[in-house]
Amino acid sequence: MKIFVVALLLLMIFAVSGCGNGGPAPDGSAITVEPAAPTPVADNSDNITTHTQSFTISVINSSGFSVGNTDITVSFPYAAPDNSSYVQFYDGNTPVNSPFNTKTNGDGIYTLRFDYKSGSGLNYAGDLQVTSGPASASVPFSVTGTGSSTISSIQITPPSFLRHDNSTTITTRTTYLYIVTQNATGGPMANQGIIISYPYAVPDNGTGYVQFYNKDNVSVNSPFTAVTDNSGLYTLRVDYRSGGGLSYSEDLQVVSGSGTLSNTATFGVDTAAP
């Protein structure tokens, strides 16, 4: 009888601590993220610096016990798998996109490596979001700065792009836009933060009219963040679809890291003959 009671107690402990069969969090679960309210980052230096922040994510069931091996989705608006983006997620030591899917460990915990940039006038804010089934949690994260390296102008080449295509078949094509950050005298300003967006850009070449790729040729969301190189240049790869009656035109926008300066280039496709 004593052996039976001990076995039953062990079974109950196993059932409520760190046990999970995979899949999303069950109904009534909660997600916690620590730190839940990280101190806002204020960096008034003139140079961009990369920092590392860790977030500990836990999934707890309705009884207050951890749920192991649980599927979670993690996202942040400015995260991309590119070390020139403002924020970069790592799954272990592997850069990943945002959102990305992963699992808690057997104890219901996942540790997120969150690399972020600050300085040189960078200003951005967003919510780190974690979801699993019906459970979700969000943590605000912000960077502010008044570094003296604020750029004076942004140049986009070409300033407008229009593809004429009257063919009956939809084709995916590639072009490049060249973005340069400049100082007050028109000279290049190196290592400057920028935010790039276009209304029809999505990281999916199966459904979107336009798809952005970062400098590492990885598909990214819109908007996405980047940093110009040592010559003040950022080369943007744009995959776009034309033909088959497609017709669209909008402004591609580039905003400075401080949010105080922007420029646009018209980008579109019509059904006229080439």
Residues 67-89 have pLDDT tens digits of: 999 999 999 988 888 777 899 99
| CA within 13 Å, CB half, 131 | 10
Report the pLDDT value the prediction gives residue 245, as an integer from 0 to 100.
Answer: 96
Residue 2 pLDDT > 70: no
Domains 19-144 and 153-270 share a fold: yes
- The domain over range 153-270 is classified in CATH as 3.20.20.70: no
Cα 136 from Cα 157, distance rounded (Å): 42
Confidence bin at 5 (pLDDT 50/70/90): very low
* pLDDT in the model for residue 233: 94
DSSP code string of the chain: -HHHHHHHHHHHHHHHSS---SSSPPTT-EEEEESSSPPPEE---SS-EEEEEEEEEEEE-TTS-B--S-EEEEE-TTB-SSTTSSEEEEETTEEE-SSEEEE--TTSEEEEEEEEEE-TT--EEEEEEEEETTEEEEEEEEEE---TT--SEEEEESSEEEEE---SS-EEEEEEEEEEEE-TTS-B--S-EEEEE-TTB-S-TTT-SEEEE-TTS-EE-SSEEEE--TTSEEEEEEEEEE-TT--EEEEEEEEETTSS-EEEEEEEEESS--
Q: 196, exposed or middle or buried, with CB in 10 Å at 0-12, 13-18, 19+? A: buried
| Best-predicted range by mean pLDDT (21-25, 75-79, 182-186, 243-247) | 243-247
- Given this model, what pLDDT does residue 20 score? 54
**In this predicted structure, what is the pLDDT of residue 88?**
92
Cα-based distances in Å from 70 to 99, 102, 183, 191, 244: 16, 8, 49, 39, 43
Average pLDDT over residues 234-246: 95
pLDDT at 264: 97
Between CA 136 and CA 22 the distance in angstroms is 17
pLDDT for 31 beyond 90: yes
pLDDT of 242 over the 60 cut: yes
pLDDT score of 271 more than 80: yes
Cα(72)–Cα(121) distance, integer angstroms:
33
User: Average pLDDT over the chain, rounded to whole?
Assistant: 87
Is pLDDT at 46 greater than 90 in this prediction?
no
Buried b (16+ CB within 10 A) or exposed e, 233-245: ebebbbbbbbbee
Provide the pLDDT confidence category of residue 188 given band limits of 50, 70 and 90.
confident
pLDDT tens across 196-238, in order? 999 999 877 667 899 999 888 888 888 888 989 889 999 999 9
Confidence of residue 147 (pLDDT cuts 50, 70, 90): low
Check pLDDT > 60 for residue 17: no
pLDDT attached to residue 113: 95
- 149 pLDDT exceeds 60? no
pLDDT at 6 over 60: no
For the chain, how many residues are written? 274
Task: Please report, for residues 23, 73, 77, 112, 270, the alpha-carbon distance to residue 20 in angstroms, rounded to integers and kept in the order given.
Answer: 8, 17, 30, 20, 53
Domain spans in the chain, listed from the N-terminal domain onward = 19-144, 153-270
- Specify the fold of 19-144: Immunoglobulin-like (2.60.40)
pLDDT over 90 at 183, yes or no: no
pLDDT at 14 over 50: no
pLDDT score at 150: 62
Question: Quick one: pLDDT band at residue 8, thresholds 50, 70, 90?
Answer: very low
* Contacts (Cβ under 8 Å, ≥6 apart) of 115: 50, 51, 52, 53, 83, 87, 88, 89, 90
